């Protein structure tokens, strides 16, 4: 019992993973963020304001929905926690509003971040508009081309979008670029990291801010079904929507926790982003985690059809939970993801984000193999951002 209270330790370690490996000029800034989170961030005033925002601005609680048609087809009972209905279309706003609120309390005027699929960027630009702050979002050129509706949204919301054109021109490079920019303006800005990654205290803070997903879902599921689910599952990029869901169930012995990562096009290095399956302990962006590396030990090039899952590292807490055997991690291919994307759209009238479609694909596989089980999935985001990319490259899917 009491997992959340025990992890991470004071230095931000989950077992051997986590920590804060920072350039000297950022050490005092991160110490200040940590102090602000542990004091201001847990104060009654802060939590009341956050509760108000979640209810009146974000539209929380988001529902849990019994996917009746999908369940009938698969032979198991699949429930969806509808984070796609959270304002701005994904779970990301849960931590963005809280990070921005913390930044406001700390007297910062600007928010800086990286984005992959653009959902964290849109959510942060939304938070910046709400609080009247400046916003600078770094995004790889490949993702800019793939997720153009989100680029337009960020600009409309008043954010500056900085294209990142070096290396793999994707999420890892966007983080590198955002960190570099933050270095020059750390006194006046907050680097609002977009997942349970980065140096301490971000993996802790983002998990706590996302835990609203799990605690709501648990109450809603109990009310609907009368008992806890057999299985819960979520996709894993850095791992924030998964940790949000897992937080509320992690001490429940009878509930199996499942993380779903991208197997992409295959098992060769460069074809996937399956860090939990193929990664080894390493260091990226100021923290220790499981990591995909090339022959020289550098972060490897990665691929996923979902830009938000396209990262060679993963949150330190997931790395720990894997080595402890507390969570089962599965890898799902691009093709299986696309099939789930079309299926959920056709059967339930819900177009999922490609990231979230990974979790749906796993639920369908697991449900077919385990008829009658109850499976609760975090539907982390909606797929509007993906429709141009999917239809231009893969068409409209097979009917039925």
Ligand X SMILES: Cc1ncc(COP(=O)(O)O)c(C=O)c1O
Signed CA dihedral, 224, 230, 233, 239: sign only: positive
Minimum gap (Å) between residue 296 Cβ and ligand X: 27
Angle, vertex CA 129, rays to CA 157 and CA 116, nearest 5? 55
Minimum gap (Å) between residue 213 Cβ and ligand X: 10
> Is residue 381 part of the contact set for ligand X (CB under 6 A)?
yes
Signed CA dihedral, 313, 18, 194, 242: sign only: positive
Pick the binder of ligand X from 22, 26, 78, 117 (CB under 6 A). Answer: 117
- Contacts with ligand X by CB under 6 A: the residue count is 20
Residue with smaller CB distance to ligand X, 186 or 217? 217
Minimum gap (Å) between residue 177 Cβ and ligand X: 16
Site track 166-195 with ligand X (rule: CB under 6 A), x = hit = -----------------------------x
> Is residue 120 part of the contact set for ligand X (CB under 6 A)?
yes
Pick the binder of ligand X from 235, 263, 289, 338 (CB under 6 A). Answer: 235
Pick the binder of ligand X from 61, 229, 238, 282 (CB under 6 A). Answer: 238
Active site residues: 92, 114, 380
Pick the binder of ligand X from 12, 198, 239, 262 (CB under 6 A). Answer: 239
Euclidean distance between CA atoms 191 and 108, whole angstroms: 10
> Is residue 237 part of the contact set for ligand X (CB under 6 A)?
yes
> Is residue 356 part of the contact set for ligand X (CB under 6 A)?
yes
Pick the binder of ligand X from 8, 19, 61, 116 (CB under 6 A). Answer: 116
Which stretch in 99-107, 212-220, 235-243, 364-372 sits in contact with ligand X by CB under 6 A? 235-243
Which stretch in 40-48, 114-122, 138-146, 179-187 sits in contact with ligand X by CB under 6 A? 114-122
Euclidean distance between CA atoms 223 and 268, whole angstroms: 44
- CA distances (Å), origin 295, targets 129, 265, 277, 306, 369: 44, 20, 18, 25, 38
> Is residue 308 part of the contact set for ligand X (CB under 6 A)?
yes
Site track 261-290 with ligand X (rule: CB under 6 A), x = hit = ------------------------------
Pick the binder of ligand X from 71, 119, 177, 275 (CB under 6 A). Answer: 119
Pick the binder of ligand X from 100, 101, 217, 236 (CB under 6 A). Answer: 236
Site residues (CB under 6 A) for ligand X?
90, 116-117, 119-120, 195, 235-241, 308-309, 353, 355-356, 380-381
């Amino acid at each position: 019992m009491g997992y959340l209270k025990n992890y991470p330790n004071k230095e931000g370690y989950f077992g051997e993973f986590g920590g804060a490996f920072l350039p000297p000029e950022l050490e005092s800034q991160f110490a200040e963020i940590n102090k602000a989170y542990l004091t201001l961030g847990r104060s009654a005033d802060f939590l009341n304001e956050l509760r108000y925002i979640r209810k009146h601005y974000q539209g929380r609680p988001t529902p849990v929905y019994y996917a009746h048609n999908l369940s009938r087809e698969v032979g198991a009972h699949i429930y969806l926690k509808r984070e796609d209905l959270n304002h701005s279309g994904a779970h990301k706003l849960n931590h963005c509003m809280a990070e921005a609120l913390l930044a406001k309390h700390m007297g910062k005027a600007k928010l800086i971040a990286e984005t992959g699929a653009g959902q964290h960027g849109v959510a942060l630009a939304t938070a910046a508009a709400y609080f009247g702050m400046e916003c600078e979002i770094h995004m790889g050129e490949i993702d800019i081309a793939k997720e153009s509706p989100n680029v337009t949204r960020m600009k409309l919301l008043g954010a500056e979008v900085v294209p990142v054109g070096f290396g793999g021109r994707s999420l890892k490079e966007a983080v590198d670029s955002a960190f570099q920019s933050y270095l020059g303006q750390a006194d006046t800005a907050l680097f609002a990291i977009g997942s349970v990654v980065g140096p301490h205290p971000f993996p802790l803070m983002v998990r706590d801010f996302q835990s609203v997903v799990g605690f709501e879902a648990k109450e809603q599921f109990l009310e609907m079904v009368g008992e806890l689910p057999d299985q819960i599952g979520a996709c894993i990029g850095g791992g924030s929507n998964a940790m949000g869901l897992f937080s509320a169930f992690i001490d429940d012995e009878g509930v199996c926790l499942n993380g779903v990562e991208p197997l992409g096009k295959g098992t060769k290095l460069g074809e996937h982003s399956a860090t939990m399956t193929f990664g080894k302990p390493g260091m990226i962006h100021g923290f220790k985690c499981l990591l995909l590396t090339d022959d020289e030990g550098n972060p490897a090039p990665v691929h996923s059809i979902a830009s938000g899952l396209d990262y060679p590292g993963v949150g330190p807490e997931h790395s720990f939970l894997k080595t402890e055997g507390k969570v089962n991690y599965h890898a799902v291919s691009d093709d299986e993801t696309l099939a789930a994307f079309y299926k959920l759209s056709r059967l339930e009238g819900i177009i999922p984000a490609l990231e979230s479609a990974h979790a749906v694909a796993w639920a369908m596989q697991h449900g077919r193999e385990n008829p009658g089980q109850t499976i609760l999935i975090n539907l982390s985001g909606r797929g509007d951002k993906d429709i141009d990319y999917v239809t231009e490259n893969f068409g409209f899917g097979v009917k039925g």
